[in-house]
Amino acid sequence: MKPRELSLEECRALLSATRYGRLGLSLNNAPYVVPMSFVYRGGKIYLHSRGKGKKVLYATKNPNVCFQIDLLEKTAGPV
Domains of the chain in start order, with CATH, are 8-69 (2.30.110.10)
Residue 66 to residues 29, 31, 33, 70: CA-CA distances in angstroms? 15, 11, 9, 14
* Selection from 14, 12, 36, 13 nearest residue 23 by Cα: 36
Q: Tell whether the model's pLDDT for residue 77 goes beyond 70.
A: no
Question: pLDDT value at position 57?
Answer: 93
Question: pLDDT value at position 50?
Answer: 84
Question: pLDDT value at position 22?
Answer: 97
Q: Tell whether the model's pLDDT for residue 30 goes beyond 90.
A: yes
DSSP state for residue 28 in the 8-state scheme: T
Q: What is the pLDDT of residues 34-76, one digit of tens each?
A: 999 999 999 999 998 888 889 999 999 999 999 999 877 776 7
Neighbours of 56 (CB within 10 A): 13
pLDDT-derived band at 31 (thresholds 50, 70, 90) equals very high
